[in-house]
């Protein structure tokens, strides 16, 4: 239908849009006089103007048209604002439909409230200038660009009735993550998932320069969208009256298309990937704003990006602003008391259909705990430490498999094609990789209903998972350790979101963001130096302690316990680092549970010191633990007079003082473990200085010596990787002797012997390409067995 | 021309390809018996098999066809291997054309050398399994995926004769950075730049799953490439004989097209963006490898990704390998001595036309120093500290402007649309933003010859710049501080490359990678919490000290000196953090130069302690310096008996011990500055614990107290940002009193007064939205003036 809106509908819809625009401009500029009851003067204007006008009228335009669709069809829609700079627009709409005052009653729907709404924006003690956790209806912070569409798809998975409208700015469209996120349509199943409606908003300019997609020919843009697998609809122009009709007609068509695709798949079963609709909306930047300021084009130019008129004391600027505000004819929009006129207010959807009050945009409201299996059933049967080998993440995979099976609609796993590589293969007993693209007979474990989301884009995995969590579901991201840095900045944004949300009472907690980092630095000997980086932990601990948790389980049973804990937690980011290769197992399940409960503890079976150790040997991380335990046995064999205490750390944040992290040990507890004055040798999975950074305030820090990864590595053998970084058993045993310092000639002789072992290792690997048999076949003997070897 | 190859040409070209494939398989598997002179047995095979076969035959196929084009047309081509896993293929070709033996003479072109070539691959003491710095002809590490095409375009800028052939794996094509890098063609000028030939290699599978682009319909893929602005050519099949003809014909066409586009632009001037050609090459994964292993399809399947047969002791596997190797008919390829037969060897290009010996792939060979202006000419005329305001980065922009002008062909600046926002506006006096897309009359500073590379993708900026540097040119990346984390992982890969290159004698140094981080954490009060993150420094210092430098110039003149230093340096990553807002200036140019030379020094004019301070006040970063100096004056006014030493740090790595970083102070030097026993209060630009991590081994570390960013922030005033993080002058002065500890009631009274100031600040900003006039207008008075205020 060419012109679906009657004159009255058009007029009211346009008025509602003008109301949103008026409130947006008011937020950016006004300190007082919200209804312009007095002639506008400098004193009514904020002394410092902060905000982004350029994208805002377009965001408002889309919002009011979505309101129409929701109301007409009782649709279930949420709104993701890629151009999150347009905060005032979203806040304006949330206020117009009443949600704002419900959540923040002091910002009432009257003149006083409107004045508060205006003043608080970008103001100390007020609200951020961007779309933020404080904005009802938002699951997407207006911070770093690139993730809008990934979040949108994440929100749509397993929400069959939901339509996620996602506005993508043409600036954001230039980012890498956004450019690949269009391909998410190869993972969306119309039979079981909701729909995503991408709206590419071309307003032509970024901060200062033009955008790429606004400057390619129409046919090329159409080809690009078709190439991405969409059916593009173009809504272009600058005359609001015409654009309202075109937008309304287009949205009618697009929602028909979406529902028809879904109906077909739901009635007839999934057959082939549909060509989902998307919209290209081309409107001027700063649309309806001042055409010119100081003789320079402003509407339709980069000069509208932030505040079109900065210096309000400049002659004529107050007048331009007044004229601009009045161009929306506020007297037609709000009554004398400042309330939106009822014939406009009724255009907004009601209750939870309001995009600002849709519970999907406040996922904690919908969150259901996972149906968790008893993790103890997957226990590796450890009868004595260090005898049996197991692949920790494969054992974890059994648990993940059953969680997938128990929770068929609210749990997914995400990985850049590394689910199998990281040994979660058991999940393929109950599900597949997800693909709605072509599937060939030779493919394995691939189907349109798979729960394993694999795309070779860490950005996509992270973005999808965030969208899934923020809408109240659960998930797990498994990744190669080195390449998780690809989403460092996405993690930042999510951690910041959680930190803020912790102080917003109307946002109940959501499921934690869980990372498994495997294929880690010590077992990337086959891929070499470029695949070796344990620094994500360093990055993570910079964020607020209240949202950050880091776990380094040394074996399979501890990994199971940690996994169970993390999947039950809320509003955290949990980082778990665990190996995938066959490795010796240390703790039976009861011991593992107790060790994880404490987070850090003395392993008595690997200690012979009682209350007065000569040295404390500490370790965190599977390979660090292995090498330290092997070093313990070397010391026991060679210098049995040494009294050793061995400490293992699962929960890294235990090392920080209590005042820095809620998990932190008190200083007394720390001293009880690490002693106030004995030397400490610590083998750490990651960069050694991280341990210093966590412990520099501890009493015994001056005696702490840490070995870890120091950026040495290449394609070599597994054991050579630890040797290259001085964290192997031979170096550690030498270190222990050095730091004890009182072993005299006996100690020197042992050090020389260990140095010879290192030389033997070098010679051997260069000849045979594999590690010495004594390294490959090493198992734990224990104090009694070693003592028995030398019965005096 | 349908079949451009004669039967003889086809036969020899195929033989050359087989030779490359033979050598590739040999590298992955063989320990001995390189020419199969004896029947193959288990002892000839490496005990541990590491490598990636899947992509290798395709890479070899492209390589030999490019050789043909280079030889036939005397083209100047380098080869970027997106699927860097295919290391054996590149090494094989480098060896075949003789470069390998020139660089590594022990790997000679005979049976002994071939045996070494085979054994060293993925072997301890040998070479990495991926394309790496050790691989001649490479500027692109086979590590993290996503940056091949960005590197390729970076290499092509300002290299008019060069064609950069860039193979993009269909796995890599799923990454965000790669997905947006196709748009680089909107920045390539055929009149002055070289060409990039993207070759999208569809072999269908990643590690375990299928790829997206291999599973969309042919028309959709074509539309996608057209949408990206290319003219796609399809080369598809699995019959080598047919594919050779198609590939040869396609490359002839494609190179004709490239040269015709360039000729037109160079003869007639640049008119409009050309539609550059690109190739889609679809061949089976593991092409020419075993069709089946253990009854499962291998060629054309994900099972070819790494080593098709892992367990060689498995019955039949040795036979499959022998049959596979023999299928290349090595006896036709190599003579008895193991040398490539002369009729094949002559197919390779000669001298520097060999892609492995092209100097563009070893940029240090081509590097010319920048023609540098005297940075002192831009000096801000500081006559007394803390009186004059200047925008540091705008002053730096004057220098950058002149460097652009002095170096019109080998220096560019890169930024995600933030060049102007970061105040480098002066550059637009001499150049423009670069765009070869549509330009409108309303655009400012935009042209196809602009030297400012702006795309809203930090990945692109970084990738282009890396490609530009690696081919022997210079550049600067300016970025918002918070969002530089987007390229954390790219930085990792580049830093690792440099670390390795430092130990490769045949790779001369290249220009350093320079970052300006501005719009930093303390002046993102208008954008709010999501834009606040100073943690890139923390990330950077985890990499090898020998390649990392971090600078925090406190004002414009120090920024100029640091900039000069960084642009003259080689093989480093230099991170410079500097503010863009008007800020008080401290040092005149001679003092700035001396301060930067030392990297850290006592500011005598802000000290009154002589040799025995009561407290050392240290600062690093412009805002930290401002607040600390303001605190000094508070203390001088309120408690003039306090003896203060003020230290400023420009070169952050000075804080580390000499043994950890080449710039580090000795312990004696550190003690001379920071004293062995006086309290130290440190105001730091970034996360406070970074200072602890750098200094935990220093004698006086126990007395060190650091203030910095602790993840508190929102949209507020500039001064409130420091207040929220306890790094403002009022907090700092209170801290100083606390840590001196001997000031008794006088001290307590001052602390109470300062606490009242903080309350006053709170009240004021919530009312007015701007900072207290005394904060906004504060200037440095100095000891003498303050003393004069109270003449007893």
DSSP for A117-184?
HHHHBTSTTSB-SS--TTSTT--S-SSSSS-HHHHHHHHHTT-TTEEEEEEEETTGGGSHHHHHHGGG
Contact status, residue A692 vs residue A704, Cβ threshold 8 Å: yes
pLDDT of B220 reads 98
Q: Any chain B CB within 8 A of the CB of A371?
A: no
Contact call for A538 and B539, based on CB within 8 A: yes
pLDDT category of residue B792 using cuts at 50, 70 and 90: low
- Do B573 and B641 belong to one domain? no
Nearest by CB: A226 against B220, B527, B711: B220
Residue of chain A minimizing CA distance to B700: A702
What pLDDT, in 10s, does the model give residues A557-612? Answer: 999 999 999 999 999 999 999 999 999 999 999 999 999 999 999 999 999 998 99
Within a domain: residue A360? no
Long-range pairs for B102-111: beta carbons < 8 A, 24 or more residues apart: B102/B357, B103/B136, B103/B506, B109/B338, B109/B339, B109/B340, B110/B337, B110/B338, B110/B339, B111/B34, B111/B35, B111/B337, B111/B338
Check CB contact under 8 Å for A529 and B500.
yes
Q: Which of B537, B769, B773 to mutate to test the interface with A (most CBs of A within 10 A)?
A: B769
User: Do B153 and B106 form a contact (C-beta atoms < 8 A)?
Assistant: no
Question: Which chain A residues are within 8 Å of B701, Cβ to Cβ?
Answer: 696
B181 in A contact zone (CB under 8 Å): yes
| Structural domain ending residue among the three candidates A584, A616, A651 | A584
- Does B559 contact chain A (CB < 8 Å)? no
Placement of tokens 């401290």 in the chain: B586
CB contact under 8 A, A485 and B488: yes
Q: Do B225 and A220 touch (CB under 8 A)?
A: no
Nearest Cα of chain B lies from the Cα of A12 at a distance, in angstroms, of 34
Q: Quick check: is A359 in a domain?
A: no
Answer whether residue A382 is part of any domain.
no
Out of B132, B179, B715, closest to residue A129 by CB: B715
CB A566 within 8 A of CB A400: no
Task: State whether B256 and B295 are in the same domain.
Answer: yes
Whether residue A200 lies inside any domain: the answer is yes
How many residues are listed for chain B in this entry?
Answer: 792
pLDDT in tens, B80-100: 999 989 999 999 999 999 999
What is chain B's mean pLDDT, rounded? 96
Tokens for B610, please give them: 């002589």
Q: pLDDT of B210-224, one tens digit each?
A: 999 999 999 999 999
Asked which of B522, B556, B584 is the last residue of a domain, the reply is B584
By the CB < 8 Å criterion, does A759 face chain B?
no
Q: Is B348 contained in some domain?
A: no
Helix (H, G, I), strand (E, B) or coil at B474: strand
Q: CA quadruple A731, A736, A742, A746: dihedral positive or negative?
A: negative
Question: Is B370 within the bounds of a domain?
Answer: no
For residue B385, being part of any structural domain is answered with no
Query: Do the chains contact at B223 and A226, CB–CB below 8 Å?
Result: yes
Same domain, B99 and B165: yes
Q: Which domain holds residue B655?
A: 600-789
Domain count, chain B: 3
The token pair at B53 is: 């076969």
Supply the CATH number for residue A40's domain: 3.40.50.970
B310: confidence class by pLDDT, cuts 50, 70, 90: confident
Query: Residue A485: which of B127, B492, B533 has the nearest Cβ?
Result: B492
Q: Which of B126, B443, B529 is nearest residue A210 as measured by Cβ atoms? A: B443
* Ranges of chain A with pLDDT below 70: 1, 791-792
Q: Which of B228, B301, B482 sits opposite A442 (nearest CB)?
A: B301
B165 and B260 belong to one structural domain: yes
Nearest chain B residue to A539 by CA distance is B539
- The answer as to whether B727 is a domain residue is yes
Find the CB nearest A542 among B221, B417, B538: B538
| One domain for residues A629 and A658 | yes
Query: B98 and B209 share a domain?
Result: yes
Residues A442-486 have pLDDT tens digits of 899 999 999 999 999 999 999 999 999 999 999 999 999 999 999
Residue A50, token pair as written in the block: 């902060």
Which residues lie across from A80 on neighbouring strands?
Answer: A166
Are A580 and A605 members of one domain? no
Window 640-659 of A, Cβ < 8 Å to B? none
CB contact B222 to A (< 8 Å) = yes
Angle between helix B7-29 and B240-268 (nearest 10): 100
DSSP B137-206: T--S-SSSSS-HHHHHHHHHTT-TTEEEEEEEETTGGGSHHHHHHGGGGGG--TTTS-EEEEEEEE-SBS
Do B168 and B213 fall within a single domain? yes
ipTM of the complex as predicted:
0.97
Same domain? For A540 and A613 the reply is no
pTM of the model: 0.98
Closest CB to B125 among A130, A146, A766: A766
**CATH classification of the domain holding B699:** 3.40.50.920
Residue B721: closest C-alpha in chain A: A124
What does the H/E/C string look like for A503-564? CCCCCCCCECEEEEEECCHHHCCCCCHHHCCCCHHHHHCCCCHHHEEEECCCCHHHHHHHHH
Are B46 and B186 part of one and the same domain? yes
Sign of CA dihedral B671, B673, B674, B678: positive
Whether residue B456 and residue A720 make contact (CB cut-off 8 A), yes or no, is: no
Please give the pLDDT value at position A792.
Answer: 52
Same domain for A523 and A611: no
Is there a single domain that holds both residue B201 and residue B99? yes
User: Which residue in B421, B426, B483, B419 sits closest to B452, CA to CA?
Assistant: B419
Angle CA B164–B165–B170, to nearest 5: 135
* pLDDT, tens digit, 9 for 90 and up, residues A24-66: 999 999 999 999 999 999 999 999 999 999 999 999 999 999 9
**Which of B339, B367, B398 finishes a domain?**
B339
Question: Is B73's pLDDT higher than 60?
Answer: yes
Half-sphere exposure for A97 (CA within 13 Å, toward CB): 28
- Inter-chain touch A179–B175, beta carbons under 8 Å: no
Distances (CA, A) of B671 to B595, B616, B665: 18, 11, 9
CB burial readout B733-751, b (16+ within 10 A) else e = bbbbbebbeebeeebeebb
Predicted confidence (pLDDT) at residue B1 exceeds the cutoff of 80: no
pLDDT of residue A266: 98
Q: Which of A223-227, A533-537, B299-303, B743-747 has the weakest average pLDDT?
A: B299-303
CA distance B526 to chain A (A): 6
Please check whether residue A555 is in contact with residue A363, taking contact to mean a CB–CB distance below 8 angstroms: no
Task: Tell me what pLDDT residue B425 has.
Answer: 96
Q: What is the pLDDT of residue A791?
A: 56
In contact, B156 and B148? CB cutoff 8 Å = no
Q: Which residue has the tokens 């002008």?
A: B405
The whole-angstrom distance between B557's CA and the closest CA on chain A is 27
Residue of B nearest to A458 (CA): B175
Q: Do B530 and A420 touch (CB under 8 A)?
A: no
């Amino acid at each position: 239908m060419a012109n679906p809106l009657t004159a009255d509908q058009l007029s009211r819809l346009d008025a509602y849009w003008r109301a949103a625009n008026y409130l947006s401009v008011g937020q950016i500029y006004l300190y007082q006089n919200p209804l312009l009851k007095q002639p506008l003067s400098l004193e009514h204007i904020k002394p410092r103007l902060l905000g982004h006008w350029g994208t805002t009228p377009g965001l408002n335009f889309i919002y009011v048209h979505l309101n129409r669709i929701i109301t007409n069809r009782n649709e279930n829609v949420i709104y993701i604002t890629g151009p999150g700079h347009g905060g005032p627009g979203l806040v304006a709409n949330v206020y117009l439909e009443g949600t704002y005052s419900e959540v923040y009653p002091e910002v009432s729907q009257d003149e006083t409230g409107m004045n508060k709404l205006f003043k608080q924006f970008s103001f100390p003690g007020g609200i951020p200038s961007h779309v933020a956790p404080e904005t009802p209806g938002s699951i997407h912070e207006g911070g770093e660009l690139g993730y809008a569409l990934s979040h949108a798809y994440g929100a749509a998975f397993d929400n069959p009735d939901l339509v996620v409208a996602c506005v993508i700015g043409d600036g954001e469209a230039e980012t890498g993550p956004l450019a690949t996120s269009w391909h998410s349509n190869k993972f969306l199943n119309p039979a079981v998932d909701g729909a995503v409606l991408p709206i590419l908003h071309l307003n032509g300019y970024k901060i200062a320069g033009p955008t790429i997609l606004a400057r390619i020919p129409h046919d090329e843009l159409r080809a690009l969208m078709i190439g991405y697998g969409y059916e593009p609809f173009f809504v272009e122009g600058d005359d609001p009256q015409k654009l309202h009709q075109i937008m309304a007609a287009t949205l009618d068509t697009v929602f028909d298309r979406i529902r028809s695709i879904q109906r077909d798949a739901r009635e007839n079963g999934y057959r082939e990937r549909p060509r989902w609709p998307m919209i290209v909306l081309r409107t001027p930047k700063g649309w309806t704003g001042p055409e010119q300021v100081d003789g320079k084009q402003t509407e339709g130019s980069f000069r509208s990006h932030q505040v079109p008129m900065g210096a309000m004391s400049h002659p004529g600027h107050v007048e331009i602003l007044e004229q601009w505000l009045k161009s929306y004819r506020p007297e037609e929009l709000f009554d004398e008391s400042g309330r939106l006129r009822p014939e406009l207010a009724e255009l907004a959807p009601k209750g939870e259909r309001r995009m600002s009050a849709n519970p999907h945009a406040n996922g904690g409201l919908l969150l259901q705990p996972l149906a968790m299996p008893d993790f103890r059933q997957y226990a590796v049967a450890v009868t004595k430490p260090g005898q049996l080998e197991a692949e920790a993440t494969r054992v974890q995979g059994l648990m993940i498999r059953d969680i997938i099976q128990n929770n068929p609609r609210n749990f997914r796993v995400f990985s850049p094609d590394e689910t199998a590589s990281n040994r979660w293969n058991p999940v393929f007993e109950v599900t597949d990789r997800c693909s709605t693209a072509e599937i060939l007979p030779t493919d394995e474990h691939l189907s349109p209903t798979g729960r394993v989301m694999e795309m070779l884009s860490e950005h996509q995995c992270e973005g999808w998972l965030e969208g899934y969590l923020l809408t109240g579901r659960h998930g797990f991201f498994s990744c190669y350790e080195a390449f998780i840095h690809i989403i460092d900045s996405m993690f930042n944004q999510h951690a910041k979101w959680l930190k803020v949300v912790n102080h917003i009472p109307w946002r109940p907690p959501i499921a934690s963001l869980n990372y498994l980092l495997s294929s880690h630095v010590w077992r990337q000997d086959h891929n070499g130096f470029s695949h070796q980086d344990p620094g994500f932990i360093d990055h993570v601990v910079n964020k607020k302690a209240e949202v950050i948790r880091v776990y380094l389980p040394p074996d399979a049973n501890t990994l199971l316990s940690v996994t169970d804990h993390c999947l039950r937690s809320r509003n955290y980011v949990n980082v778990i680092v665990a190996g995938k290769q066959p490795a010796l197992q240390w703790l039976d399940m009861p011991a593992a549970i107790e060790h994880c409960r404490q987070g850090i503890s003395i392993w008595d079976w690997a200690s012979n010191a009682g209350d007065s150790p000569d040295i404390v040997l500490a370790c965190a991380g599977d390979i660090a633990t292995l090498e330290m335990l092997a070093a313990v046995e070397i010391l026991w064999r060679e210098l049995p007079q040494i009294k050793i205490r061995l400490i293992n750390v699962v929960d890294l944040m235990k090392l920080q003082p209590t005042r820095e992290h809620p998990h932190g040990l008190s200083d007394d507890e720390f001293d009880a473990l690490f002693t106030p004055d004995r030397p400490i040798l610590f083998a750490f999975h990651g960069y050694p200085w991280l341990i210093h950074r966590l412990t520099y305030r501890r009493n015994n820090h001056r005696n702490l010596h840490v070995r870890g990864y120091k950026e040495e590595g290449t394609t070599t053998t597994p054991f050579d990787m630890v040797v290259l970084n001085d964290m192997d058993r031979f170096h550690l045993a030498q270190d222990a002797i050095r730091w004890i310092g009182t072993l005299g000639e006996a100690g020197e002789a042992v050090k020389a012997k260990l140095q010879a072992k290192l030389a033997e290792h070098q010679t051997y690997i260069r000849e045979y390409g594999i590690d010495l048999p004594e390294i490959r076949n090493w198992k734990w003997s224990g104090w009694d067995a070693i003592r028995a070897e030398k019965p005096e």
